[in-house]
């Protein structure tokens, strides 16, 4: 299983610093949506330049103009770009077209999708490289939240998937047992007193 760090930071400088601390322990470096909105796609270019050997993930969360938005993110240096599962099929197909042109990939983020299993199968058929079983920061903040619903959906969908939604040292082994291809950790790494140690421990907990 791959490990992805999600950098929900607000400046390119902070992202470069964090990526430098954790790159050796992760496979995928994600520029979170707030970072892309605050700093622009030049942040993607800066991270890819600093870490050309890593898979760079631009969490665009595109809802419309799939081909156009994916194209600009790929041109900026992204290897993987997200489109929302709630978008129209044509938006996802447009993103997949851009991904094929760049020999890169589209990840469909299932945040906010009620029937994640059905939509996962649909978007995989449209050409998504994998789906993200995702509960966002606001959903995680609700009382009683846990990861298990995401893990069940991943197991049931039988398509390649990542899990994002508060993955940490306590839960990452369950993510792997569920068969995820990628575990995404944001706050568990960037919010830790020692992000490098947090990433190293997450890496050590999985194979």
Summarize as ranges the residues that interact with ligand LJD2ZHX5 (CB under 6 A).
Answer: 6, 8, 32-34, 59, 136-137, 140, 164-167, 184-188
Query: In angstroms, rounded to a whole number, what is the distance separating the alpha carbons of residues 83 and 92?
Result: 7
Residue 10 or 97: the one with the smaller Cβ distance to ligand LJD2ZHX5 is 10
- 10 vs 137, beta carbon nearer ligand LJD2ZHX5: 137
CA angle, residues 200, 186, 83, in degrees to nearest 5:
130
Nearer to ligand LJD2ZHX5, 64 or 103 (CB): 64
Residue with tokens 């890496």: 203
Helix (H) or strand (E) holding 74: helix 66-76
CA-wise closest residue to 159 among 101, 96, 100, 108: 108
Q: Which is nearer to ligand LJD2ZHX5, 90 or 148 (CB)?
A: 148
Q: Determine contact, residues 3/26, Cβ cutoff 8 Å.
A: yes
Nearest approach in angstroms of CB 99 to ligand LJD2ZHX5 is 19
Q: Say how far apart CA 147 and CA 131 lie, in whole Å.
A: 16
Q: How far is the CB of 138 from ligand LJD2ZHX5 (least distance, A)?
A: 8
* Residue located via tokens 């600093």: 50
Q: Which two tokens stand for residue 137?
A: 């920061």
**Shortest approach of ligand LJD2ZHX5 to residue 170 CB, angstroms?**
12
Q: How far is the CB of 140 from ligand LJD2ZHX5 (least distance, A)?
A: 6
Q: How far is the CB of 101 from ligand LJD2ZHX5 (least distance, A)?
A: 25
Nearest CB to ligand LJD2ZHX5, comparing residues 101 and 174: 174
- State the angle between helix axes of 42-50 and 66-76 in degrees (0 to 180), rounded to the nearest 10: 40
């Amino acid at each position: 299983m791959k490990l992805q760090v999600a950098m929900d930071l607000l400046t390119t400088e902070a992202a470069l610093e964090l990526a430098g601390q954790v790159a050796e322990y992760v496979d995928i470096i994600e520029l979170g949506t707030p970072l892309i909105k605050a700093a622009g796609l030049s942040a993607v270019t800066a991270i890819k330049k600093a870490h050309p050997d890593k898979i760079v993930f631009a969490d665009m969360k595109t809802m419309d103009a799939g081909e156009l938005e994916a194209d600009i993110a790929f041109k900026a240096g992204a290897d993987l770009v997200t489109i929302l599962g709630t978008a129209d099929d044509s938006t996802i197909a447009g993103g997949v077209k851009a991904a094929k042109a760049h020999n890169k990939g589209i990840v469909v983020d299932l945040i906010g999708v009620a029937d994640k299993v059905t939509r996962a199968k649909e978007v995989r058929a449209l050409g998504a490289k994998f789906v993200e079983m995702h509960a966002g920061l606001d959903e995680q903040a609700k009382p009683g939240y846990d990861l298990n619903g995401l893990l069940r959906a991943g197991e049931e969908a039988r398509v390649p998937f990542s899990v994002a939604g508060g993955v940490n040292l306590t839960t990452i082994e369950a993510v792997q047992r569920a068969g995820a291809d990628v575990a995404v950790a944001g706050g568990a790494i960037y919010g830790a007193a020692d992000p490098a140690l947090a990433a190293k421990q997450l890496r050590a907990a999985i194979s």
